[in-house]
Structure 1
Amino acid sequence: MSQLNITSHQEILHFPKGGKPTLATNEWQVWSGSQDEGGLPDLEHGAHKVLVPFTWWLEHHHEVDVAAKANNGQIGVWFATDDDILKHADVIDAGKQVWPLVAAHFPIFRDGRSFSTAALLRNRFAWQGEIRAIGDVLIDQLLQGARVGFDSFGLRPDQKLDVALKQFDLYTVTTQNSWRDQRSTLSA
């Protein structure tokens, strides 16, 4: 696996279903899963929680140390755009018991496949936990992301968090159903 550096602000935008958007401290480090890093990052010092690549999870989730950290709420997974999550439905169903957070990676803002990942997790897998957008996440993607199932966003470092918070107040009427609610009904 090539070296992958996924950065974001120190704060994430958290927008739970039925709640208001807020900023929260980002407690999770995103790890590339690179073998030359010597296994899992140190969770004793610094960040105590890590998002590992789903492909890495597939290979290592049976290891005692990995399973213990996952059961302790210290490990979540992130999905790459080309991960076939439907092929691994059994692993994802089991993961619902231990992953406090899953994320979908946007390698570049114009690649929308991670929107489908979030929608599949919510609709087909009945994922009730947090789904975070990570990677090249722009303010322009927030409304669409919130509609398909994302409830937290690790915005790219150059994005303005104060502007991001205001995006959810732009529209009061929705004309399509979403994960959050039904479309608005307009009276004539």
Structure 2
Amino acid sequence: MKFKTSSYLIILIVVLGLTVCKAPTEKPFDTQLADKLQTALQEAEENPDTKFPGVLLYISSSKLGTWVGAAGLSNIKTDTTMRPDDKFRAGSIMKPFISVVILQLMEEGRFSLEDPMTAVLPESVSSRFSDSEQITVRMLLNHTSGIPDWITGAMIGKITANPQRIWEVDEYLDAAAAQEPYFPPGEGWRYSNTDYSLLGMVIERATGRSWRE
């Protein structure tokens, strides 16, 4: 699992009516609706309360057709206008995908949601965290593990100082393990990217494939 930094932009992705059957003939998107959506995007981007520089909206529907709109800037330093064909990092939208794969593997009998980290991860990983024998897969899924987030001030400083570097998951785990647990396993809730970094490793160990696959 690797991570490469990029500009922080909020991405809005709306997918309607997706199917796995043969794709129908593309239907022209209603121009009046497109105009309304573009106006809404522009107003959202210009709203001082939203505090984001750029926005991209993608709609795909068997009834409506496909439309992509953009507003604002893709790069505030160069004052570059956002374009409908700009690319973005998936960001935390990957967490629901990882959750689904974990549940699929659980249904296949690969492991239980109540299995501890020590049962689903290599010792070289689980041994970094003092409470790994009490932290279950379920706790990782719902952010009740108590494992600290690897996104810390120090780590962010390192990342921003090396924006083109590709970081390894072991480096994230080291940053998390260097901190004190937020709370004992299962006795609180706190968002932690480390939980899902670990779940990605659970997927890799259970399937023998990269979690990206």
What TM-score results when the alignment is normalised by the length of structure 2?
A: 0.28
- Name the larger-Rg structure: 2
**Would you tell me which structure has more strand in proportion to its own residues?**
1
Q: TM-score, normalised by structure 1?
A: 0.30
Structure whose residues are more often helix by fraction: 2
